[in-house]
Chains A and B, each alone.
Chain A
Amino acid sequence: MRDDPIANVLDDLMRLDEIYACIVARRNMISVMPSSESFKPEVNQIWDVIKRAMDDVFTVIGEYSGAGLTEMEFRLQDYEVLFYVFPEMENALVAIVPALANKGLLEVEMENARRQILKIMDNPVQKPTSQKTTDEVYVTA
């Protein structure tokens, strides 16, 4: 998993203070986890209930992503879970953030991550062999 460019994108997100956890997932399945960064400890105590709620949200995403659903979010206790849906797919980039996070700033980087992941999905040839870092992908975009 270390060379998975999507995992590298998630690693970048995890370095932001207010992202407690992020994954690429679909209903009942986590597709990609960060490769080197672990979830922040704040999430551990609430992970089970968040995971169950997420699966219910993915039912809605599966139903409406084809109709143009692009984002969803829910608040559970002191956390918010953001879903950035990949167009026409049942997959989403998911992040757990604190309820009073500077969400506008996080949204900008969530969107950048979604775009990077989409680019990687569209050009799978880049995936295991490319020597480019995700940083370089952006600079030359």
Chain B
Amino acid sequence: MISTIETAIGMSRKWEAREAGREVAETAIKNLSRPPDFFLLFATIHYEKYGGFQEFLNGVWDVLPKDTPLVGGTVTGFMNNYGCFSRGASALAVSNPSMDVAVGVGKNTKRNPRRAAKQCAEMIQNGLKDSLYKNKFLLNFISGPVMPSIPGVGQKKYIRSGFVSKFAMQALGLSQALVQKGLGREDEIFEKTVQQLPDYHMILGTSMDDYKGMKNYQFYNEKLLTNAVVNLGIATDLDLGVHTTHGMKPTDLHFTITKLGAQNHAICEINNKPAVPEFLRLLNWPEGFLTEETMLHTILYYPISLRRQGREVPVVTPLIMKDAIFVPCIIDDGEVSILTVSGKDLILAVKENLHHFDNIQPEFGLFSACITILQTLGHKTNMIQEELHSYFKDKSFLLFYSAGEGTYSKEKDITYANMSFNTAVFGNQK
């Protein structure tokens, strides 16, 4: 079968926003003989200081053919056929005569996530309603968490003061509604999107900065947005699949969540006791062991397997407020367990994930992976790049690092997880 699909990876390491925008577009489209049918664009937050993201987008549109559907946003880092990067910009451009494309946008995601999701999904639904292609795919890319700075405390992962924690927990809901600072609520948006578009294969990713959680931007055609969800919808005759793996392993440490707070985002009590001391007891960690610094090196390796509407939701603890463990998504109470993960497990999860697509001859691939993987593995993320390179060979692939990710397909339902590796592979059945 002669492949008529053309794909290309754009890349820039330039510092100046406009120049980087031009280069990321140029390097992609010079490898295509036709204009791209869509342009997925990701950049690290650095351009904010070097001209700004509107200039970056202007640079892209200096080069990109007018009306090319474009979505994307800021990410913590990315990897592609050229390597792994935590600074720069990259794009995936695809031209395929047998493919229909639509893009969508929804605003005010932190204030009203369900409405934003509905609005965005409807744009895809309308855009692809006349498509004759049976395989449908959606990238659901959402503004990630922006942590409010607490007066006198700043942005911390561990707040020891009971008074400040109580204040912060109450202020969070208000902050979400008024100034749209807080959790990304990507789990709620993803659930609503799935409800709207149940026949699609989906990959979820979130927009972030350099792991600080201060700000993030989304790209929608020529527009620069904040607190938005952008969708890329594809209908195609290519075979495609999505799959999530995470490498986290169960331990024999189980507990029961007996009290939730902050709209089911905080575990306040475990086994009818204050959550944090009980969690430390279960792990056999001394009181006072967790600090701002040790959290980075310890708790990341002990995610919790939570539950949401009957599904397993493995998450990493991003924030501790006195005795409460904060989690990035809405959860249910009940019996859960502590998981464990190592760097080796993360690499094995990538291998296992790609093995799932052994029967597909890939044309291109898109991935979202958790920023904690990048933070944990550091430069050893190159081992993941080598795995991807060996699977895709000369075919294009682009992975972006996210803070809340997952996949959905009708067969497997929603998988939302932290520290996970999420794949969408497009190709032909062998």
A104 near B12 with CB under 8 A, answer no
B12, B86, B296: the one contacting A139 at CB < 8 Å is: B12
Q: What residues of chain A lie closer than 8 Å to B77, measured between beta carbons?
A: 105, 108
Cβ–Cβ < 8 Å partners of B84 in chain A: 108, 111-112
The 3 A-B residue pairs with the shortest CB-CB distance, nearest first, are: A107-B378, A111-B379, A104-B375
In the complex, what's the smallest C-beta–C-beta distance from B255 to chain A, in angstroms?
Answer: 29
User: Given A109-B86, A110-B379, A111-B382: A104 and B374 within 8 A (CB)?
Assistant: yes
Q: Which chain B residues in 11-68 approach chain A with CB under 8 Å? A: 11-15, 23, 27, 46
With A102-B211, A134-B13, A135-B14 known as contacts, the answer to whether A109 contacts B85 (CB < 8 A) is: yes
B11 contacts which chain A residues (CB < 8 A)?
138-139
Which residues of B lie under 8 Å from residue A134 when comparing CB positions? 13
In which size bucket is the chain A interface? 20 to 34
Taking the nearest CB of chain A, how far is it from the CB of B211, in angstroms?
5
Query: Quick check: B12 and A108 within 8 Å, CB to CB?
Result: no
Q: Binary interface profile of A, 118-133, with partner B (CB < 8 Å = 1, else 0)?
A: 0000000000000000
**CA gap between A12 and B88 in the complex, in Å:** 11
Chosen A-B contacts, 23 in total, with CB atoms closer than 8 Å, are A12-B15, A15-B15, A16-B46, A104-B211, A104-B378, A105-B210, A106-B86, A106-B378, A107-B378, A107-B379, A108-B374, A108-B378, A108-B381, A109-B86, A110-B379, A111-B379, A112-B85, A135-B13, A135-B23, A138-B11, A138-B13, A139-B23, A139-B82
Closest to A138 in B: B13
Contact indicator B86/A108 (Cβ below 8 Å): yes
| Secondary structure call for the A interface | helix
Tell me if B172 counts as interface (CB < 8 A to partner A).
no
B292 at the interface (CB under 8 A from A): yes
Is A40 close to B, CB under 8 A? no
User: What is the CB-to-nearest-CB distance from B152 to chain A, in angstroms, rounded to a whole number?
Assistant: 19
Instruction: Tell whether, in the assembled complex, residue B375 and residue A139 are in contact, meaning their CB atoms are under 8 Å apart.
Output: no
Cα A121 to Cα B83 with chains together (Å)? 20
Chain A residues near B176 (CB-CB < 8 A): none
Total number of residue pairs linking A and B with CB closer than 8 Å: 70
> Is B140 interfacial (CB 8 A cutoff)?
no
Q: Could you tell me which residues of chain A, from 68 to 106, have a CB within 8 Å of some CB in chain B? A: 99-100, 102-106
Check if A141 is an interface residue, CB within 8 A of chain B: yes
Contact of A109 among B27, B82, B87, B293 (CB under 8 A): B87
B210 touches A102 (CB 8 A): yes
Whether, in the assembled complex, B165 has its beta carbon less than 8 Å from a beta carbon of chain A, the answer is: no
Instruction: Report chain B residues within 8 Å CB of A103.
Output: 375, 378
B76 on the A face (CB < 8 A): yes
Residues of A within 8 A of B293 (CB): 99-100
Contact call A108/B379, Cβ cutoff below 8 A: yes
A122→B87 CA distance, assembly (Å): 25
- A contact residues around B377 at 8 Å (CB): 104
Tell me which residues across on chain A come within 8 A of B85, comparing CB atoms. Answer: 108-109, 112
Which of A12, A15, A100 has a CB less than 8 Å from the CB of B292? Answer: A100
- Give the nearest-CB partner of B382 in chain A: A111
A80-B426 Cα distance, complex, nearest whole Å: 43
> Which B residue sits closest to A100, measured CB to CB?
B293
CB distance from A103 to the nearest CB of B (A): 6
Cβ–Cβ < 8 Å partners of B381 in chain A: 108
A15 to B86, CA, bound (A): 13
Q: Would you list which residues of chain A between 29 and 68 have a CB under 8 Å from chain B?
A: none
B226 at the interface (CB under 8 A from A): no
- Distance (Å) between the CB of B214 and the closest chain A CB? 12
B376 within 8 A of A: yes
Q: Please name all residues of chain B whose beta carbon is closer than 8 Å to the beta carbon of A139 when the two chains form the complex.
A: 11-13, 23, 27, 82
Evaluate contact between A102 and B375: CB separation under 8 angstroms: yes
Residue numbers in B under 8 Å from A112 (CB-CB): 83-85
15 more CB-based (< 8 A) A-B contacts, given A102-B210, A139-B13, A139-B27:
A15-B46, A100-B293, A102-B211, A102-B375, A104-B374, A104-B375, A105-B76, A105-B374, A106-B378, A108-B374, A108-B379, A115-B83, A135-B14, A139-B82, A141-B83
- Residues of A within 8 Å of B374, CB to CB, are 104-105, 108
Complex CA gap A100/B378 in Å reads 14
Q: Which residue of B lies closest to A16 (CB)?
A: B87
List, in ascending order, chain A residues with CB within 8 A of B12's CB.
Answer: 135, 139
Q: Could you tell me the distance between the alpha carbons of A102 and B292 in the complex, rounded to whole angstroms?
A: 12
A134 to chain B, nearest CB (A): 7
How long is the Cα–Cα vector from A121 to B410 in the complex, in angstroms?
52
